[in-house]
Structure 1
Amino acid sequence: MASITKIRNKNGSVSYRVNWRVGDSKDGKRRQEYKTFDNHEAARAHRRSVEQDIESRRVGGPKGQTVFGYLDGWLKEIERKAERGDISPKTAEGYANNINIAKRSLKDQRLTRLTRSHLNTAYDKMLESGKLLPDGETGPLSKRTVHHVHSVLHNAFADAVLDKLITHNPASLAEPPKVQGKKYRRKVRDYTKDEVERQLKLAQTDKRYPPDTYLIALMLAICGPRRGELCGLAFNDSIDLEAAKISVFRNVLEVKGEVVVREVPKSDASVRTISIPVALVELLKQQRKRVLEMALIWGKDYSRKPLYVFPGPGGTAMNPKLITRRMERLAIRAGIDMAQVSPVHSWRHTSGSLLWAATKDVKAVQERLGHSTPQITMELYVHNAPTADEAAADILGALIRR
């Protein structure tokens, strides 16, 4: 596609000329271009750059790929990033879901011909019938979901611009539906003191629950972990019973129906070490004894590395959804109105609100909960909660029933 010609100048010196053809002239012929360099290495570098540019233009040109073809290739690159650990598998799954939604409403055409008008038409269609229903019919998608689709498309086409497949990002000028309210719009309330006590008492005394249910509720209230972080805790690398500290660094996810253990944290702030009360240490010692007894009964095939605090079958990581289901049943049996309640995250809200009420230290709450910025802590967890006026002498450790 490009060549180098060695030229001997009149003064005896040598130069190198890079030759290539680009574009279509008015008479239908390609235009000759060239550039001269004093040394061969510089000429070779320019030739490589020219060839890469020509190849990019060829791929994105009239004979290039379609919108769907490009998006499929982009998703494969996202999957490779997830396999390398650069992004979360859950994030990759979300990208794939949003791209699939987009493809149901977009018209497949050459990538270079995609415009903001095409995207706006697709967004309107999503709002009317972008959701697939179980009976095979379609239904409307929420404005927030369509906005998520737009964000993913914007990222995908931004990469196409970087790869010189298109000259501009059509999503930059598109008009997705406006989403009302703040970014963290959903109001998930924390539990009142009475609701906390009812659930803890039920988990501790009701024989229908496994013995570790009470400990799970306490860990959520006292330590405020995300459910995946709770499932990732292990006695041999996360729990220091002597120092009464817990290290949070592992996350367990469910991706496409399979449990995935992610050693790479959600963010740098997610990696944290938090202190726990002595009473909780004693309960963890009892849980370790139960886990080791379970491993002994299971046999040599029981997975002990890591030795999960709340294991799944055979010592594998527990599916985070099981935590949600168990805590949901607990809340319902405790007579709690589930409106604006998240079975797991309401415990996390409760933990943050209790700490805020007792300390008024946003930084301390942020670091304990593992947020990347204090603003997230303020917007999500630090608010006028029903528990804020309660006495917090021993703060979270007082939740443990003697």
Structure 2
Amino acid sequence: MASITKIKNKDGSTSYRVAWRVGDGKDGKRQQEYKSFASHEEARAHRRTVEKEIESRRVGGPKQQTVFGYLDGWIKEIERKAERGDISPKTAEGYANNIAIAKRSLQDQRLTRLTRSALNAAYDKMLESGKLLRDGKTGPLSKRTVHHVHSVLHNAFADAVLDRLMPENPASFAEPPKVQGKKYRRKVRDYTKDEVERQLKLAQTDKRYPPDTYLMALMLAICGPRRGELCGLAFNDSIDFEAATISIFRNVLEVKGEVVVREVPKSDASVRTISIPLALVELLKQQRKRVLETALKWGEDYSRKPLYVFPGPSGLPMHPKLITRRMDRLAIRAGIDMALVSPVHSWRHTSGSLLWAASRDIKQVQERLGHSTPQITMELYVHSAPTADEAAAEYLGTLIRKN
């Protein structure tokens, strides 16, 4: 790849010339480069450097990949992992969205020639006009979004290095925009006890709401499930009426506008069985009766396996957005200031805070909410801190209003 030639100079001295060719060879033309050194050791050292550089450019074989071609293939592999259940479909969708954003600001070029400067320029462009607006125009992306794009690109190019398609990861040296850490981010607030009472009373008495709205709000307050976990509860494998427990292991997601049922949990800690108060057991029995009556009216086409607690049309799982919309309207009609309020997640925060105030057992709260570590629970719910799970469930059961 590079050669060393001993040269006798006119003044009688000796030098060593390193020769090598550069260029991509697309037109069959490659330029010859030379460099001379006084000693053979210097020439050999330079030859090693040159050969290493040439080899790095050849990584990936004769058919050099472009940046866009590689990223498209990488996303397809991510989607295959989602189909196998190795990662969440929602995660795969997020990766695809971020790669689409990156491709609008990056210039397609040979993968091995991508530099940190090109990435930095792309990040600047995203901050100015990386967002597609409905009228066909473009607008600025937030620093946090651009940082997410950078993280996905870093993961993608790290795989390219492992596959010997790139000599090094250019994203490791790029400079994405700095964002505020979690300590300074705006947090979703809890509902106050008065706000909880107002919403539960409205859900129970207002005829504008379906009869399962009250149960839905209670489940969020008492059990603290995530939105998708609530949609995934089913009578035949999640609810144990005799033991007064619910098992959370199924998640319902929206992926590319479609409802997807995911049996693989978000994490090992997400799979959990928690106690519920007897009053909630009775309400669940009433809900099962309503669901079975609906199934009977619908006929054989009604999906009964599993028999969802909160079903959508024909017994299929309810779309997660419908729960958000219903809880949003409930909070607004209850006269709640919606600043820093998430219609569903504020219920989960409230459940964690109430559990902490009642038990002061951080491990119990962590396991009940399905957090992967106690640190996450501490950061979210320890504002102001022991009892068994059954006692905590009974405390939360006092939220249930008597008919």
Q: Report the Cα offset of residue 381 of structure 1.
A: 2.8
Secondary structure of 1:146's counterpart equals helix
Q: Report the Cα offset of residue 186 of structure 1.
A: 3.1
CA distance in 1 between counterparts of 2:62 and 2:131 reads 33
| Alignment match, 1:336 | 336
CA distance in 1 between counterparts of 2:115 and 2:100 reads 19
Q: Report the Cα offset of residue 212 of structure 1.
A: 0.1
Secondary structure of 2:366's counterpart equals helix
| Alignment match, 2:371 | 371
The one-letter amino acid paired with 2:142 is S
CA distance in 2 between counterparts of 1:90 and 1:206 reads 35
| Alignment match, 2:304 | 304
1:79-106 deviations in Å (ceiling 9; x for gaps): 0000000000000000000000101111
Q: How does 1:353-372 map to 2 (within 5 A)?
A: 353-372=353-372
Contact 1:61 1:112 in 2 (8 A): no
| Alignment match, 1:216 | 216
Q: Report the Cα offset of residue 60 of structure 1.
A: 3.3
CA distance in 1 between counterparts of 2:121 and 2:144 reads 17
Q: Sort the Cα spacing of 1:245 and 1:24 in 2 relative to 1 into closer, same or farther, 3 A.
A: farther
| Alignment match, 1:248 | 248
CA distance in 1 between counterparts of 2:61 and 2:112 reads 7
Asked if 1:80 corresponds to 2:87, the answer is: no
Secondary structure of 1:326's counterpart equals helix
Contact 1:184 1:380 in 2 (8 A): no
Deviates more, 1:276-285 or 1:360-369: 360-369
Contact 2:59 2:167 in 1 (8 A): no
Q: Sort the Cα spacing of 1:84 and 1:338 in 2 relative to 1 into closer, same or farther, 3 A.
A: same
CA distance in 2 between counterparts of 1:266 and 1:299 reads 34
The one-letter amino acid paired with 2:112 is T
The one-letter amino acid paired with 2:187 is K
Q: Report the Cα offset of residue 378 of structure 1.
A: 1.4
Deviates more, 1:211-220 or 1:118-127: 118-127
Contact 2:253 2:260 in 1 (8 A): yes
The one-letter amino acid paired with 2:359 is T
CA distance in 2 between counterparts of 1:268 and 1:214 reads 30
| Alignment match, 1:383 | 383
The one-letter amino acid paired with 1:114 is L
1:296-332 deviations in Å (ceiling 9; x for gaps): 0000111000000000110001110000000000000
CA distance in 1 between counterparts of 2:100 and 2:147 reads 14
Q: Sort the Cα spacing of 1:172 and 1:393 in 2 relative to 1 into closer, same or farther, 3 A.
A: closer
CA distance in 1 between counterparts of 2:393 and 2:302 reads 42
The one-letter amino acid paired with 2:218 is L
Q: How does 1:238-277 map to 2 (within 5 A)?
A: 238-277=238-277
Q: Report the Cα offset of residue 137 of structure 1.
A: 1.1
Q: Sort the Cα spacing of 1:66 and 1:269 in 2 relative to 1 into closer, same or farther, 3 A.
A: same
Contact 1:56 1:163 in 2 (8 A): no
Q: Sort the Cα spacing of 1:256 and 1:159 in 2 relative to 1 into closer, same or farther, 3 A.
A: same
| Alignment match, 1:43 | none
Q: Report the Cα offset of residue 74 of structure 1.
A: 0.1
The one-letter amino acid paired with 2:342 is S
| Alignment match, 1:177 | 177
TM-score by length of 2: 0.83
| Alignment match, 1:70 | 70
Q: Report the Cα offset of residue 56 of structure 1.
A: 10
Q: How does 1:2-401 map to 2 (within 5 A)?
A: 26=19, 60=60, 63-182=63-182, 185-384=185-384, 394-401=394-401
Contact 1:60 1:166 in 2 (8 A): yes
Q: Sort the Cα spacing of 1:58 and 1:359 in 2 relative to 1 into closer, same or farther, 3 A.
A: same
Secondary structure of 1:157's counterpart equals helix
Deviates more, 1:176-185 or 1:371-380: 176-185
Deviation >3 Å, runs of 4+? 23-29, 55-63
CA distance in 2 between counterparts of 1:252 and 1:77 reads 23
Secondary structure of 2:182's counterpart equals coil
TM-score by length of 1: 0.84
Q: Report the Cα offset of residue 136 of structure 1.
A: 1.1
- Aligned-pair RMSD on alpha carbons? 2.1
CA distance in 2 between counterparts of 1:294 and 1:90 reads 31
Q: Report the Cα offset of residue 180 of structure 1.
A: 1.1
Secondary structure of 1:367's counterpart equals helix
1:310-358 deviations in Å (ceiling 9; x for gaps): 0011000111000000000000000111110000000000000001111
Q: Report the Cα offset of residue 62 of structure 1.
A: 7.1
Using the aligned pairs only, state the percent identity: 88
Q: Sort the Cα spacing of 1:183 and 1:72 in 2 relative to 1 into closer, same or farther, 3 A.
A: farther
CA distance in 1 between counterparts of 2:285 and 2:226 reads 22
CA distance in 1 between counterparts of 2:214 and 2:134 reads 37
Q: Sort the Cα spacing of 1:158 and 1:27 in 2 relative to 1 into closer, same or farther, 3 A.
A: closer
Contact 1:66 1:109 in 2 (8 A): yes
CA distance in 2 between counterparts of 1:264 and 1:342 reads 25
CA distance in 1 between counterparts of 2:143 and 2:308 reads 40
CA distance in 1 between counterparts of 2:294 and 2:394 reads 34
Contact 2:276 2:393 in 1 (8 A): no
| Alignment match, 1:48 | none
Secondary structure of 1:273's counterpart equals strand
